Amino acid sequence: MIGPDYQPLRWIAPEHLPRTLRILLENALRHGTASDVLANWVPGATGEIEVYPSRVFLHDTNGVPVLADLAAMRDAMVELGGDPARVDPLVPAELVVDHSVIADVFGRPDAMQRNVELEYRRNGERYRFLRWGQQAFEQLKVVPPGAGIMHQVNLEKLARVVEVRDGKAFPDLCLGTDSHTTMVNGLGVLGWGIGGIEAEAALLGQSVSMVIPKVVGVRLVGALPAGSTATDLVLTITERLRAHGVVGKLVEFHGPALADLPVPDRATIANMSPEFGSTVAWFPIDERTLDYLRFTGRDHVDLVENYAKEQGLWHDTTKILYDEELVIDLAEVVPSIAGPNRPNQRIALTEVAHDKSSGEGLSDDSVVIAAITSCTNTSNPSVMVAAGLVAKKAVELGLETKPWVKTTLSPGSKVVMDYYAAAGLTPYLEKLGFHLAGFGCMTCIGASGGLADGVTEVVKSNNLSVAAVLSGNRNFESRIQPDVRQNYLASPPLVVAYALAGRLGIDLTAEPIADGVYLKDLWPTQAEIDAVIQSALRPEMFTAAYADVFAGDARWRGLEVDDSTTYPWEDDSTYLRRPPYLEAKVPSDLKNARALVRLGDSVTTDHLSPAGAIPPDSMAGRYLRELGVKELNTYASRRGNHLVMMRGAFANLRLRNQLVDREGGYTTKDGELMSVYDAAEAYKSQNTPVVVVAGKDYGTGSSRDWAAKGPALLGVRAVLAQSFERIHRSNLVGMGILPLEFAASEGDDLTGEHPIDITLGDDGFATVESGGRRYRLRIRLDTPRESEYYRHGGVLPYVLQRLKAGDL
């Protein structure tokens, strides 16, 4: 605890400074990097700041390549004659294994057990590697499979809110290799997603360099009307803020509605920060925060309260100035879903029905996946209990889910199943096919497994546009399941309702779901939901669930682990290969470059590097099958093997490359249609540089470093886009790829059909010439640190050179 001589840091900034910037100012002062601009901030101020996280947070599919890169750096240190142990995290790191379990088995009592068995069979090598990393790197802790989803584990257990080290207290500043790290913003923790490349630098003591972001104050007023859920609220906020434009900005919530907005509702909103594009979606600390900390078994609640009040982080009525301000009235929220392929495409439930499906048998707009999944909503007892009560009433009225609907339940915490059992709701969910499939991301990350028996064949033979309804945060094309073209985000109780209806072409607010039963007959009142929560959810459930969270089960503890300082790479491994990213590349002008792909607006990192199942006939699938691999698994599970992942770059089945007239990972070279991978290899053999040309919001979605690593391995030297999403632009720089941004309203006529010349200027701009046209693009190296990274060919060569020179 804090020593008796501890004195809190007194703010030197004006009282109007946004609370998120106060945390960044404290961080800067504590690390000796204080900026006059930040210390004397006024709306509109600009300048560079450096951020040092108190901890780095990872999951397994991003964590494996992070550890692989660190292991490769240890090898490089040996080759340079240095001590490999010098490559070791300098800040605490936590890794949660939650992204590898697949919902292969469903709708049966042993679904979870069988899915876990399959998980270990597929991922044993990766898990042994993670256990090696846990013993090889001193400050790395691993939460083994089966504990829950990383962000829910963070919210319910790992988040400190206020850290105490060496007798000093300071804010818990958490940077994670998943864009939904922002979920912990709901607890008053400042944290956001970074790419795995940035995470490696942060682990090795490098600051995260950034321009002082604009802060958007969002004042929440009113209260949710009866029948509306936290999910409906977050979909409304996502629509509003994406339309307003908050990319790269800090969103800071405040206002009178917070008094009645519990932490689970705040966390649901904060989790979706990447979906509206902001860096964070932060909630201040107040009595609701303290209530949640007490309920989940934290033992330093008084410290959090005292620190927050001393340091100006407590929610009160003090006037704060923001760069921009918005007001959102909770009373205007109506039941909604979002889709078919973007989280901000909110549709009021009354407007969902359309005239495409009769509901008789399997047809267009049939719902073939109904998944209660993802940390976004399964962290929220209110909507989860609502789902259980809808199931209970449906069973009591004799309703059944449709046979073509795959139903899964994959919560992000064991606590969910504890309060379901205590409330007696589990049997009703299971009666409708919502058996526990596992504790992990599963459907939300695209690990949804196959469809119900016979459904895939019907979908393919009839070219049907069927749908998934899930309580997740992402619904991009081809993300959820390869044969499902439409994906809709919905609250858990609506997931149950659509499983019963089996189709989208129904007005759930006016038409019967079945046999004269309407949604209003199934929907619980808030009083019913609150009564179940009061009786069934208890603090000891959290204490028990996380009592020994780092230990793992017998399978985990039984994995054989090599105790060497450097990792013994296996030449025939199809999961783990030594990464080839350490060779420095010298920046230069590009002459006669060719566009590998020409993409449109809102291209996601899922398009650039898919995470779901590897199709057998894809370039990655063919490569693995040629090696004799029978179980292809997912792209996410093979991120430790660059030979697979570079073949998966631009391989999304729904990618639309404007250079060719078909979907998928195809392009054209010299008039010949071929895969993007084959074209890239051909350009390499000719020493022809390649670039990517794209529209607005390039790189939205997950903080997926492979969306930059893959293109880098294909030889992409620059990305020319009309605008970039924050994390992906940073990842490009981290891999030595130059991000170039068109001036407003320019770039549509750069078709990519002609050779491209790029000349770098000393004024922060590049001249681009192609097809007789000339453009002036801004070089998006936003800070001096990013310029250093680019000059060295990326983060890893930069850090390795500093290690070699003894600077780290």
CA distance linking residue 542 with residue 94, whole number of Å: 19
Q: Both ends of the chain: CA-CA distance in Å?
A: 30
| Position 357 confidence tier, pLDDT thresholds 50, 70, 90 | very low
Whether residue 11 has pLDDT greater than 60: no
How much is the pLDDT for 477? Answer: 83
Share of the chain above pLDDT 70, in %: 97
Tokens coding 23: 């945390």
Contacts with 453 (C-beta within 8 Å, 6 or more apart), sequence order: none
| Position 190 confidence tier, pLDDT thresholds 50, 70, 90 | very high
Helix (H) or strand (E) holding 768: strand 765-770
| Position 354 confidence tier, pLDDT thresholds 50, 70, 90 | low
Mean pLDDT of the region 685-694: 97
How much is the pLDDT for 14? Answer: 59
Tokens coding 212: 């002082």
pTM for the complete prediction?
0.89
Candidate CATH numbers 3.30.56.10, 3.40.50.1820, 3.30.499.10, 3.40.50.920; the one for domain 55-332 = 3.30.499.10
Whether residue 517 has pLDDT greater than 90: yes
- For residue 192, give the nearest of 23, 45, 374 by alpha carbon: 23
| Position 231 confidence tier, pLDDT thresholds 50, 70, 90 | very high
Range(s) of the chain covered by CATH 3.30.499.10: 55-332, 354-524
* Strand arrangement of the beta sheet that strand 215-221 belongs to: 280-282, 250-254, 215-221, 324-329
pLDDT digits 0-9 by tens, 458-512: 999 999 999 999 999 989 887 899 899 999 999 999 999 999 999 999 999 999 9
Among the ranges 8-12, 282-286, 803-807, which has the highest mean pLDDT value? 282-286
Q: How many CB atoms lie within 10 A of CB 40?
A: 12
| Position 363 confidence tier, pLDDT thresholds 50, 70, 90 | confident
Whether residue 205 has pLDDT greater than 60: yes
How much is the pLDDT for 582? Answer: 78
Range(s) of the chain covered by CATH 3.20.19.10: 590-791
Among the ranges 199-203, 324-328, 702-706, which has the highest mean pLDDT value? 324-328
- For residue 690, give the nearest of 562, 804, 559, 591 by alpha carbon: 591
How does the average pLDDT of the chain come out, rounded?
A: 93
Mean pLDDT of the region 96-109: 95
| Position 2 confidence tier, pLDDT thresholds 50, 70, 90 | very low
User: 354-524 is classed in which CATH architecture?
Assistant: 2-Layer Sandwich (3.30)
- For residue 611, give the nearest of 664, 651, 657 by alpha carbon: 651
Residues 56, 60, 65, 66: what is their CA dihedral angle, to the nearest 10 degrees?
10
Mean pLDDT of the region 362-391: 95
CA distance linking residue 729 with residue 663, whole number of Å: 25
Q: Where are the alpha helices (DSSP H) in 510-601?
A: 519-522, 526-536, 539-545, 554-557
Mean pLDDT of the region 283-306: 97
Mean pLDDT of the region 561-579: 93
Mean pLDDT of the region 340-369: 81
Mean pLDDT of the region 166-180: 94
Q: How many CB atoms lie within 10 A of CB 517?
A: 16
Q: Cα dist. 489→235, 338, 389, 473, 796 in Å?
A: 9, 5, 20, 7, 37
Tokens coding 596: 């590998």
How much is the pLDDT for 361? Answer: 57
Whether residue 384 has pLDDT greater than 90: yes
| Position 355 confidence tier, pLDDT thresholds 50, 70, 90 | very low
How much is the pLDDT for 358? Answer: 45
How much is the pLDDT for 1? Answer: 37
Mean pLDDT of the region 751-768: 96
How much is the pLDDT for 356? Answer: 44
Mean pLDDT of the region 632-652: 93
Using DSSP, state whether 63 is helix, strand or coil. Answer: helix
CA distance linking residue 542 with residue 537, whole number of Å: 9
From 80-84, 528-532, 642-646, the region with the lowest mean pLDDT: 80-84
| Position 515 confidence tier, pLDDT thresholds 50, 70, 90 | confident
Mean pLDDT of the region 727-748: 94
- For residue 793, give the nearest of 705, 707, 704, 712 by alpha carbon: 712
User: 590-791 is classed in which CATH architecture?
Assistant: Alpha-Beta Barrel (3.20)
pLDDT digits 0-9 by tens, 703-718: 788 999 999 999 999 9
How much is the pLDDT for 4? Answer: 46
| Position 395 confidence tier, pLDDT thresholds 50, 70, 90 | very high
DSSP 480: S
Contacts with 489 (C-beta within 8 Å, 6 or more apart), sequence order: 231, 235, 337, 338, 339, 343, 470, 471, 472, 473, 475
Mean pLDDT of the region 721-726: 93
- For residue 154, give the nearest of 258, 67, 271, 232 by alpha carbon: 271
Tokens coding 392: 């209970």
